[in-house]
Structure 1
Amino acid sequence: MFNKFESNAEPVDTTGQEFLVFTLAAQEYGIDILKVQEIRGYDSQSVTRIANVPSFVKGVTNLRGIIVPIVDMRIKFNLETVEYNHQTVVVILNLKTRVVGVVVDGVSDVLMLQPSQISAAPQFGTAFSTEYLTGIGTLGERMLILVDIEKLMTSEEMALVESAAA
């Protein structure tokens, strides 16, 4: 007899981690979705430039009363420059010590990766220091560079931005 509480479906594995996938120069990156507050279109007119900050800092913007530094990830990762377009977005991150916006070429989706799909970060071949990498995620033929955005955005360079904006 059929029991309505029995299921033939495979149990869903929820032990993975969700990543927001964004692109920079045709490469996909992933950041912990729990750090993402919101995604907004990039409007350079709403960003106020600040003197004496690192070149990767576009400036600051006022987001509902909070002054938020805006970081261009292409410059931060030493990638070629690109024209901003309608797909360029700012991902607003809510980190332990600050709110930061990062400019990326676009956001594609949110992916759940299981621990078996995440490999250790390589020690060479990346455009930026591997201390900010948590690993490489693989999903079929797709590879994501997984970034420890908390560590990247709480570096000493970012402390300079806060002091300049104050």
Structure 2
Amino acid sequence: MRLSISHETTYHYDDQVRASIQYLRLTPHDSERQQVLSWQLALPRPVRAQVDPFGNILHVLTMDEPHEAIVIGARGQVEIDEKREAEHESQSSLPFLRFTRLTEADEAIRAFAAKETKKRTDRNALIDLMQALNQHITYTPGATAVDTSAAQAFANGAGVCQ
């Protein structure tokens, strides 16, 4: 199956920003399941590709002059092998098992995860958990701040992507 992808993100700031840095992981890579036929980023300035520690293609966009908005575009075509259900992961999952003061799961989150996954650990269990979280937590601007923990956002049933 051939997919044509077009994505645009626009950041608007209430006040002029003196400088900003965006870490962009918007570029797919070839794998056993997909082949990138064409891909390009539309950015306000040239950037170089690098690979992050997890194998993702990363571009760092540094805006060091005052600006009130940033428009980031990505588009291209990817061929997917529909016969392959998933990729074989070569990266260790250990970095994703760490937690911080803000990301540590409390008992309510653990119980929710156990209920939604039925203690399964396969890909479908993760998809079920993701969909249940999407239903449980409503995107609500102002509901959380940079120091709001995952447990607080989960308990409130609302938050933003910080």
For the superposition of Structure 1 and Structure 2, which TM-score range results when normalised by the shorter chain?
A: under 0.3
TM-score (norm 2): 0.23
Q: When the two structures are superposed, what TM-score results if normalisation uses the length of structure 1?
A: 0.23
